[in-house]
Amino acid sequence: MPGMTPDMVIQTGNEALKMVLLLSLPMLGVALVVGIAISLFQAVTQIQEMTLTFVPKIIAVFAVTILAAPWMTEQLVHFTHDLFAMIPALTQ
C-alpha cells in the first residue's frame, strides 16, 4: 500500500512530540528547581527583587543547554535518521 496511512502519520507526530518533550526536559527541570530555590530564598530573607527571579534562571538554563547540547544533538540526529530511513517504505 503506497503512501502514509493515518496511523503512520499519528505515530510519527507522536514520536515528534515525545522528542520535543524529551529535549526540553533538562531546561524546564532546571528552571523549575532554580525557581523554587529562589522563591524559598526570597521567602526566608524577605528580599523581593524582581531581577533575582529571572537572572539565575536564565544563567542556569543557559548552562544546562550548553552541557546538554551534545546529548540533544545526538537525540535529534537519531530521530532524523529514523525519519529518513522511513522514506523508502513510504514510496512503495
Separation between Cα atoms, residue 23 and residue 69, nearest integer Å: 9
- Asked if 38 and 53 touch (Cβ cutoff 8 Å), the reply is yes
Under 8 Å CB-to-CB from 23, ≥6 apart: which residues? 72, 75, 76
pLDDT at 57: 93
Choose among 32, 18, 27: nearest CA to 68: 27
- Asked if 64 and 30 touch (Cβ cutoff 8 Å), the reply is yes
pLDDT at 90: 76
pLDDT at 37: 94
- The structure's pTM equals 0.78
Choose among 38, 33, 32, 36: nearest CA to 55: 38
Separation between Cα atoms, residue 64 and residue 23, nearest integer Å: 11
pLDDT tens for the 92 residues of the chain, in order: 567 788 888 999 999 999 999 999 999 999 999 999 999 998 898 888 888 889 999 999 999 999 999 999 999 999 999 999 988 877 77
pLDDT at 1: 52
